[in-house]
Amino acid sequence: MKALVYEGPRSVKVKDVPDARIERPTDVLVRITATNICGSDLHMYEGRTDMETGRTLGHENLGEVVEVGDAVDRVRVGDLVCLPFNISCGFCRNCEQGLTAFCLSTNPDPRMAGAAYGFAGMGPYSGGQAELLRVPYGDHNCLVLPEDARERQTDYVMLSDIFPTGWHCTELAGVLPGETVVIYGAGPVGLMAALSATLKSAEKVLVVDRHPDRLALAEQIGAIPVDDSKVSPIDRVLEETGGLGADCGCECVGYQAHDPQGQEHPNLTLNNLVQSVRFAGRIGVVGVFVPQDPHSPDQLYRQGEVAFDYGLFWFKGQSVGNGQCNVKAYNRRLRNLVHSGKAKPSWIVSHEIPLEEAPEAYRHFDARDDGWTKVVLHPGG
Ligand code: NAD
Ligand code: ZN
């Protein structure tokens, strides 16, 4: 089968690799028809992880079931399914509580919890930027989609990661109707957090970035765009909130945070949040703060050290929630919002292209080239 393979920093290639197949009786085999490039793929692409060369990338996947293992009861051949990026078992103590991002069964490294397709440090699983994908614990992991998904794949494929992740960020920040929310980052995740805050009836949603095309997408759903290359985002939020600060803040950038001049400051968005969220306000962090080799034992617990203004955070009595999104905790309900037309997450899609054109798309998306917001790949054309 054809697959997009990691060959080294900033080098990916579409190659012929052995077909994915059923390996365990609980597996489901899916023919992928839509698979996204994600900001998280760039951690591998840019060579910031210990990703093995030759592995297939891709954790935002949707497709049709073509084969099921002997122990699969619920999912059937022909079903159109969306796969959470987290691979989880459904029966460990974390999964039982809905914490599928921290599944204790699917990552073979005993120091780790949680697994994902085509991801460094998240288990041995192949990604879905390919013609076929093996889905472990298929009955648990496949979200079966309604018939309209055949025509609306670009909406439904967002249920694999970024729509639930944006929603999760607003859950971590405890967004309530009538509140003001500030979101740092207008990448796909920040835009989905803005959509989620809007669906939760926030009064004002401010979205901070410096890419005009991305800010325009935030504006399209009624958010207030804040270009931090032109104004201080802290001043702008204080201005909108009578000097109090926002009720809630969302971090949707991660350690790649940089200033508008391009200088990297991994703590910039955290410090801006502490300053622009009110006393006793709440902050959700879904941006990734794990920049280095998760397999290097001496780095396991030091790798993400980021100094931020903990003193002011403490003094303001703010609270924070963070981590990977438990996609299964939300994807069924968000699927229903997509089906009813209340949510159309495909508004951010800038490109729909065949798998063969993925290397070029990675280059543009990595450079945050104008207009390259979200790329959906269609293996098989
Ligand atoms: P992206 O790189 O496309 O978007 C990030 C955006 O942040 C860019 O538009 C960039 O201009 C902006 N930015 C950079 N510095 C900034 C600053 N100081 N202030 C405001 N904006 C700034 O990535 P994405 O796909 O939107 O993902 C965002 C983050 O979320 C990544 O770290 C990704 O790995 C992470 N993520 C986490 C989860 C999870 O489960 N927690 C899931 C998916 C993605
Ligand atoms: Zn993703």
Q: Do 317 and 365 belong to one domain?
A: no
Question: Do residue 166 and residue 154 come from a single domain?
Answer: no
- Nearest 5°: CA angle at 291, between 378 and 246? 85
State in Å: Cα 86 to ligand 2 middle: 10
Confidence of residue 299 (pLDDT cuts 50, 70, 90): low
Whether residue 295 is predicted with pLDDT greater than 60 in this model: the reply is: no
- Average pLDDT of the segment spanning 262-283: 95
pLDDT tens readout for residues 130-146: 999 999 999 999 999 99
Q: Of 280, 303, 322, which residue sits at a domain end?
A: 322
Q: Is the pLDDT of residue 71 over 70?
A: yes
Ligand nearest to the CA of 329: 1
Domain shared by 198 and 253, yes or no: yes
SS3 of residue 272 by DSSP: helix
The amino acid that residue 115 corresponds to is A
CATH number for 84: 3.90.180.10
**Cross-strand pairs, 319:** 282
Q: Give 28 Cα–ligand 1 centroid separation in angstroms.
A: 31
| Residues 97, 21 share a domain | yes
Domain termination residue (choose one: 322, 340, 367): 322
For residue 368, give both structure tokens: 């945050």
Query: Which residues are within 8 A (CB) of 291 and not within 5 positions of it... i.e. 6 or more apart?
Result: 43, 48, 255, 266, 303, 304
Pairing mode, strands 277-285 and 319-322: parallel
Does 291 have pLDDT greater than 80?
A: no
Q: Is 341 left (phi over 0), alpha (psi -120 to 50) or beta?
A: left
Reply yes or no on whether the pLDDT at 285 is more than 80.
yes
pLDDT at 212 over 80: yes
Same domain as 192, residue 64: no
Where does the chain show beta strands of DSSP type E?
2-8, 11-16, 28-37, 61-68, 80-83, 132-135, 143-144, 180-184, 204-209, 224-227, 246-251, 277-285, 319-322, 351-354, 375-378
The answer on 112 and 126 residing in a single domain is yes
How far apart, in whole angstroms, are the C-alpha atoms of residue 366 and residue 38? 10
Same domain, 152 and 219: no
Asked if the model's pLDDT at residue 371 lies above 60, the reply is yes
pTM: 0.96
Structurally, the chain folds into a number of domains equal to 2
> Does residue 32 share a domain with residue 15?
yes
CATH number at residue 246: 3.40.50.720
Please state the rounded mean pLDDT for residues 205-231.
Answer: 98
Is the pLDDT score of 293 beyond 80? no
> 139-175, pLDDT tens digit by residue?
999 999 999 999 999 999 999 999 999 999 999 999 9
Is pLDDT at 298 greater than 80 in this prediction?
no
Domain co-membership, 167 together with 243: yes
Q: What is the identity of the amino acid at 100?
A: T
Kindly state whether residues 216 and 338 are assigned to the same domain: no
Query: What 3-state class would DSSP assign to 53?
Result: coil
Residues 45 and 155 in one domain: yes
More confident residue, 27 or 256: 27
Mean pLDDT of 296-307: 61
Asked if 172 and 72 sit in the same domain, the reply is: no
Structure tokens at 246: 């926002």
- Choosing from 182, 253, 269 the residue with most ligand 1 atoms within 8 A of its CB, the one to mutate for a pocket test is 253
Looking at the CA of 60, which ligand is closest?
Answer: 2
Compute how many other C-beta atoms are within 10 angstroms of the C-beta atom of residue 222: 12
Determine the distance separating the centroid of ligand 1 and the alpha carbon of 34, expressed in angstroms. 22
pLDDT of residue 297: 47
CB atoms within 10 A of CB 354: 13
pLDDT confidence bin for 296, thresholds 50/70/90: low
Mean pLDDT of 291-313: 69
pLDDT bracket for residue 301 (50, 70, 90): very low
Looking at the CA of residue 258, tell me the nearest atom of ligand 1: 15
Question: Average pLDDT over the chain, rounded to whole?
Answer: 95
Name the domain boundary from 304, 322, 340. Answer: 322
In whole angstroms, give the CA distance from residue 83 to residue 238.
Answer: 40
SS3 184: strand
Residue 371: give the domain boundaries. 2-161+326-378
